Homo-oligomer: A and B are copies of this chain.
Amino acid sequence: MSKAGLVLLDCWVSPFCMRVKIALNEKGLQYEARPEDLFGGKSDLLLNSNPIYKKVPVFLHDGKPLCESSIIVAYIDETWSSPPLLPSCSYARAQARFWADYIDKKVVFDACGNIWRSKGEVPVEAKTEFIEILKQLEGALGDKEYFNGDTFGFVDIVAIPLTCWFFALEKIGGFSVAAECPKFSSWMKRCLQRESVAKVMPDPEKVYEFVLMFRKMQGID
């Protein structure tokens, strides 16, 4: 597939953009990532392609825009079938969608946000909630290599990008994911060994610097 037809409106620190990039890498597709300057003003292409939310990622396939990262990943899976990211059995597919949705509802907004946006010391409840959510995910993972079993897929792609923010959360919150959730931590390491993931995920130290800078911009620190 030539680069011309696949364009991603991108931001290096966004886990949602990373999801799309990992899915494209898994499918072996070449694409053009166009960085958006989120502080200096969004491009007209972004504003016109995502008039409802006006945010990245936007994926353009032959000029046709798609928005919302999980929906884009599902689209990529349905458009380029090999290797499959969602299971072939409809019940397993529903379960994968359930956990992807859980991650979006719980990890992204409630859990991570309550830690990195906290003023002063992070409340114990916020840390406890975060760990409890990871433990639910550990339960869904069970003794499997990946969420769907032996093969890396949809739920892994939805979840793994969020973990590049964990170093920042651990520094701000004063806790250790590896100590609290060893199984989840092993899964993280396994995913990070994949080339499709490794070449997309930013250095956690740089994410931490970004979070500190962003906290200052927002008047939190």
Contacts and interface: CB of A to CB of B under 8 A. Distances in A.
Contacts of A98: 66-68, 71
A103 to B, nearest CB: 12
A188 B134 CA distance: 41
Contacts of A93: 75, 78
Chain A: interface secondary structure? helix
Interface string A90-117: 1101100110011000000000000000
Contact of A71 (B74, B101, B136): B101
A108 to B, nearest CB: 12
A99 to B, nearest CB: 9
A72 interface: yes
Given A102-B52, A136-B52, A97 B71 contact: yes
A74 B94 contact: yes
Contacts of A79: 90
A78 B52 contact: no
B90 A78 contact: yes
A190 interface: no
Interface string A58-72: 000100101110011
A10 B90 CA distance: 22
Nearest to A95: B66
25 contacts: A52-B102, A52-B136, A61-B91, A64-B91, A66-B91, A66-B94, A66-B98, A67-B98, A68-B97, A68-B98, A68-B101, A71-B94, A71-B97, A71-B98, A71-B101, A72-B94, A74-B94, A74-B97, A75-B90, A75-B91, A75-B93, A75-B94, A78-B90, A78-B93, A79-B90
Interface of A: 52, 61, 64, 66-68, 71-72, 74-75, 78-79, 90-91, 93-94, 97-98, 101-102, 136
